[in-house]
Amino acid sequence: MTPEFVVTFAQEAIKVTILVSMPMLGLGLAIGLLVSIFQAVTQIQEMTLTFVPKILIVLLALLFFAGWMLDQLMSFTSNTIEQIPFYIR
């Protein structure tokens, strides 16, 4: 294994991790922003008002994107396993 291979493999793993987590993080951020604007306009400062919508949206996003996320992770994993003979050279 060369240092270049390790860096490339780490970059690919980080790229897949970010790609898989973006739907939940993006939707959670958007809902958090909307709730913050709502709280600022109405001056309601209830703590559960910030967490409950985010949790629900992240769960719905997880259910909606689960198939795509699983495909991405399985593709990365199968590619890694298939390349093991080339990695140990």
Query: Structure pTM?
Result: 0.78
Could you tell me if 57 and 32 are in contact, meaning their C-beta atoms sit under 8 angstroms apart? no
Q: How far is it, in rounded angstroms, from Cα 18 to Cα 23? A: 9
Dihedral of CA 15/54/50/39: which sign?
A: positive
- When the pLDDT of each residue in the chain is averaged and rounded to a whole number, the result is 92
> Is the pLDDT assigned to residue 38 strictly greater than 80?
yes
| Residues 49-88: tens digit of each pLDDT | 888 999 999 999 999 999 999 999 999 999 999 988 887 8
Domain boundaries, the chain: 44-74
DSSP 2: -
